[in-house]
Chain A
Amino acid sequence: MLIWLLSDYDHRKHLAFKSLLARFSSSFPQAKVEFSVKSRGSLWESLFAHLRDPKRNPLPDIIEIPQNWTELFSRLGLLADLARRVEPLGQRRFPEFILKELCRHEDDRAFSAPWWLEAPALFYRPQELKSVVSHPEEELASWDGFRGALERVGPRSKRGRFRALSVPGSSGSVSVADVLPRVWGRRGGLFSDDFNRATFTREETAGGIEDWLELAVSGKIELFSPDRFENGPRPAEECAFMISSRKIPGSGRAGLKMLPYPGYPSGGGLTLVYNLAVSASSQAQDEACAFVSWALEPRNVAQFAEGFGVFPCVKSVFEEGLREEREAAVYRRLFSAPELKPNIMVYPTAELLLERALWNLSLKIARRDYEREDLTRELIMAQGEADYLLSLY
């Protein structure tokens, strides 16, 4: 049995999966399981390559996918229906906000099983903000408050390798993963509520993207960072702020405190969910479903998620994890009104369109020839393409 795991900037995830597999192999020595880690782009390409030429490009038995790829690839016939084959799915043992986006149009089918989730949050070091912010909880609740504090902490950050803001999950350029939490915070989105048209240029969406681009333009985050190439992500103790969707190891020791992502008026926020799917062309579907069921057993899913600082999707373990969390109060606010990316057929492609626009803008910012009109033009183009896609699919 072969598994494709989605790669992660945090190597702990790969190691956590390796140890999960080791436990599986010791429990079921007769089962032969291998895995390979694919980047998001490479996974996307491989899935389409399979559609084009299934014989030359076989799929593995199990694939980890972002939750909102499910509709697309199930409609393209790549994923097996797991509803009656994976027990937690049959029993609907997931929080309601996850089940809502699992299968938009039908309740009795499910083409992937929710595995783990994360939500972006703001981490800060109180000792670095002493003279900058008097009441962090209040002042850092809004984007403007956060942005002002970042500005004030800026001049102090010149010393040594200290940075005012670190984004450990950054891919180098400004990416969709960076801007979407802010877009959501402004109540924007990539599509209208009825999914009949793209809304990239809507004020809330464009404004959310611009907020993040402004951080890059003003140098608060460094694009294509040479420092990151030479030294890797900045350690927690060398930053005043961090935006991360992972629990940060040793955050207590490093004197880090946590707050919800700034600027969520509802108190909830964007939640990213990752699922396990079984390939429809797998010759070992029963074994694959059995593995997915095993991976979702409370003990296994809890250990795996804990391994890289995320939350498991199985309801009982998720709630238990929340209760035991050091920052339980913040997480409770984060998950008070969680919102998932819509699981609709064209959404993943729309993200790619926005990704391309953001890449072009990132290069412009890095070359220092970015202007506001560039953003408008890129978004108009991307929106046109997304609208065209909607008319086709």
Chain B
Amino acid sequence: MKKNGKPIYVPVAGQAFYEGRDVFIKAALEAVSAQFSLDGASFYEYDEKPGLLRLRHRCAGGVSFEHEENLKPAPGSAAARAIETLEYAVSKTAGGSFLHSPFRFDYCDPGGGRSVIPCFGLVRMERSARRKRFSPAEAARADAYLRSYLRDYYKAEFFSLHRKYDKNVTAITELTEVFATALRVRDSFRHILSGIQTYFGFDRVRLYLIDEKNRKLKGELSADIRGQIKSISYEEIPLEPGAHRFADIVLGRSSGAFMERYKDCVLYMPLAVQGVTIGLLIVDNLLSQQRIEPQELAMLKSFGGQIALAVDNSRLFDKVEELSLYDELTKLPLRRYFNQRFQEEFYRAERFKQPLAMIWADVDYFKEVNDTYGHQIGDKVLKEAGRLILSNLRKIDFPCRYGGDEIIILLPQATGEEARRLAQRLSQELAELRIPVPFSKTRELRVTMSIGISTFPADGSTMDALLEKADDALYWVKSHGRGKIALYSDVAEEKKKAEAPGGNNNVPAK
């Protein structure tokens, strides 16, 4: 736009809205370069402590580009004067003529913090030596033009901070919900870590829990920057002073100079419930080496109590669930849990036409053991039997304390013969056990088991039939001297022979 042959510079404040600092700086430099026919324009931030001008953005030869350069203005130079007085200053050197337009404004943290965020720097406009220098009037106009732009810079900065604030409010609301609803250990730890990553986006978040019994800090889960979660259960740290940095932190010992250096990009957060430390949450930006904003650190710290409570709750929930599904004495699942799994395994065997074997075992003369030596010794027998069974099974096998001294083991994809081999091993190992009995003459007790086995589909095509046939086989062993193993198919054969004319009705099982 021209009036009387001279260009008129229209203030642009309020006309534009920029999504963040970089977009603004680029637009400002391009606009001022075009308006005032500049050969170059550079945007510097001023770092007051070391007195450095930090180049952020430059526009030259029709190209805008970011760049990093940290230089000091010469004392008494135009740039130094501009910084000192906050008034524009002009200079001319062999390289050309320069106009330095400084800016400084402070604004309050929209997140509600008490700190004031300073914005201090200058824009350097340049023309090459062969072109006309900046006249006082032109310099004043260019400075005014830039200042009008800087009001938008204020808005751009404020917008960026406000966006962060918005994000934090959302994080508070949604994470509180995540932590409050986290119940089961396996899921809740994942939810907690995912929640933290969704709202904070650290390079890595790791959760360690204290194993009080073994005095160890054990790794649980780790979530990376892409939100991928993996187990770190292989990490075990002795909970002793000096054993490891993490142990020292959990034990409340000094972290030293090394940690001091990390403090901007790592947060070690001991998790405590009612004054008792239960674990350690570590968030870090070590790979990117990006500073974790103090605001984010403060917010995460404020979540510490909730995270600890959520972790503790989910551990308690799992404990309660364990108590309701597992027998505390033998550590074997209880009948209720067994019924559910039996249904699943039976359905699978039926659908995929795979064999399924069932072992039904009973400790011989268990009532007599209780009556003679007391329930404590009886409990010891059951406990040993449980330990022995758990240590001999495959991962897919499913044992259960069915009631009293009766134990059932489901063996998916196993034939009768395979089940018999396992039963023999269990029987033999149990027979070799010596249960110490302090006040008896023999000082020790030896026990045996009677075992009946049925298989699907050979012995029964329904769940009830399978149970019934295993029970039949067990009954047959019990009525034929105990301490043995019988497959229902053999029992049926024997029964048939016994029922046949002239048959022997008292033949022991194989």
Contact = CB atoms under 8 A, between A and B. Distances in A.
Does B associate with A?
yes
Nearest to B204: A392
Contacts of A363: 50
Contact of A349 (B94, B257, B286): B286
Contacts of A224: 50, 52, 70-72
B358 interface: no
B74 A39 contact: no
B287 A393 contact: yes
A44 B93 CA distance: 36
A178 to B, nearest CB: 13
B118 interface: no
A41 interface: yes
B144 interface: no
Contact of B61 (A11, A51, A76, A393): A11
A381 interface: yes
Given A76-B226, A172-B71, A227-B74, A15 B201 contact: no
A203 to B, nearest CB: 22
B364 to A, nearest CB: 55
A300 to B, nearest CB: 19
A259 to B, nearest CB: 27
A97 interface: no
Interface string B65-98: 1111111111101010000000000010111000
Contacts of B261: 381, 385
Contacts of A392: 204, 286-287
B72 A171 contact: no
Interface in A264-313: none
Contacts of B74: 226-227, 229-230
Most buried by B among A230, A388, A389, A392: A230
B67 A7 contact: yes
A184 B93 CA distance: 39
Contact of B288 (A7, A44, A232): A44
A369 to B, nearest CB: 13
A48 B72 contact: no
Interface residues of A, number: 49
Nearest to A232: B95
A48 B93 contact: no
B201 A353 contact: no
A9 B288 contact: no
A393 B289 CA distance: 14
A385 B226 contact: no
Interface in A194-230: 224-230
Interface string B286-301: 1111100000000000
Contacts of B258: 381, 384
Interface string B263-304: 000000000000000000000001111100000000000000
Contact of B68 (A39, A228, A381): A39
A152 B76 CA distance: 32
A77 interface: yes
B67 A385 contact: no
A18 interface: yes
A172 B288 contact: no
Most buried by A among B61, B67, B73, B258: B67
Contact of A229 (B22, B67, B72, B289): B72
A177 to B, nearest CB: 11
Nearest to B74: A226
Contacts of B63: 11, 14-15, 18, 37
B125 to A, nearest CB: 14
B71 A226 contact: yes
B73 A173 contact: no
A72 B289 CA distance: 14
A18 B62 contact: yes
Interface string A379-393: 001001100110011
A21 B320 CA distance: 67
B325 interface: no
Nearest to A227: B74
A48 B288 contact: yes
A231 B286 contact: no
Contacts of B26: 36
Dominant SS among interface residues on chain B: mixed
B225 interface: yes
A45 B73 CA distance: 28
A34 to B, nearest CB: 12
Contact of A42 (B66, B225, B286): B66
A17 B19 CA distance: 26
Most buried by A among B50, B69, B71, B201: B71
B93 A231 contact: yes
B350 to A, nearest CB: 42
Given A53-B201, A389-B286, A393-B287, A36 B68 contact: no
Contacts of A228: 71
B60 interface: yes
Contacts of B60: 11
B201 A52 contact: yes
Contacts of B69: 9, 171-172
Nearest to A224: B72
A323 interface: no
Contact of A52 (B50, B91, B225): B225
Interface string A17-47: 0100000000000000000111111101100
B79 A229 contact: yes
A352 interface: yes
A48 B290 contact: yes
Nearest to A353: B289
A99 interface: no
Nearest to A384: B258
A118 B360 CA distance: 77
Contacts of A171: 68-70
A226 B77 contact: yes
Contacts of B95: 230-232
B423 interface: no
A103 interface: no
A2 interface: no
Nearest to B265: A385
B262 interface: yes
A198 B506 CA distance: 79
Contacts of B67: 7, 9, 37, 39
Nearest to B53: A229
A349 B290 CA distance: 10
B168 interface: no
A56 to B, nearest CB: 9
29 contacts: A15-B61, A37-B64, A38-B66, A39-B67, A39-B68, A44-B288, A45-B288, A45-B290, A48-B225, A48-B288, A53-B201, A72-B287, A77-B226, A172-B70, A224-B50, A227-B74, A229-B73, A229-B74, A230-B77, A230-B93, A230-B95, A231-B95, A349-B286, A349-B289, A353-B289, A366-B50, A384-B258, A389-B286, A392-B286
Given A7-B68, A225-B71, A349-B288, 5 more contacts: A5-B65, A40-B68, A76-B225, A230-B79, A230-B91
- Kindly list the 10 A-B residue pairs having the minimum CB-CB distance in the complex, ordered from nearest: A52-B201, A37-B65, A226-B74, A172-B70, A229-B71, A39-B66, A224-B72, A48-B288, A352-B289, A14-B63
